[in-house]
Amino acid sequence: MKKFASVIFTTVTLVLCFTISACGNKYVSHYSAMLMVRENTSNQASVSFESFSGTYVIKLQNNRADEVFITYDATLREGNIKVYYDYNDEKLNLFEIATDGSVDSKTETFTGNKIIYIIIESDGKSNGGSFSFVLEKIREINFNSAAYELV
């Protein structure tokens, strides 16, 4: 009986530990992919794949309270993918890309978020994709008039 109680206690403890540690992640990646290459630092990330299906989450971090925007580019040989970003706890549409599509743009400037999530979601199986995201900071330069320069 003691052995059975010990096994139950250990199982409950492990489940509780995994549940508590998983709660810290706002979004969760769940996907299947072939030949997927990922790179993620605090202010830039990229992912490319031969085939992909599911959801992949990227986490960028604004280390200061600076105004920032995200420059991005993407290409997709086949399929449909929607890309979102989280701003002020709201999942907003960033762009959609379809077969033989490409995108190259930037977000509006925003401040205050320390962590910015990029969520890539496929609508079924997608092939030949490449996505890149860079967190850019804006700083003010004072000459005779105020101008802005990318850092």
How does residue 19 score in pLDDT terms, banded at 50, 70 and 90? very low
Q: DSSP assignment of 24-64, as one string?
A: T-SS--EEEEES-EEEE-SSEEEEEEEEEEEEEEEEEE--S
DSSP string, 69-98: EEEEEEEEEESEEEEEEEETTEEEEEEEEE
Band (89; pLDDT cuts 50, 70, 90): confident
CATH fourth-level superfamily of 28-150: Galactose-binding domain-like (2.60.120.260)
> Would you kindly state where each structural domain of the chain is located, as residue ranges?
28-150
Select the more confidently predicted residue: 110 or 103: 103
Q: Is residue 82 over pLDDT 80?
A: yes
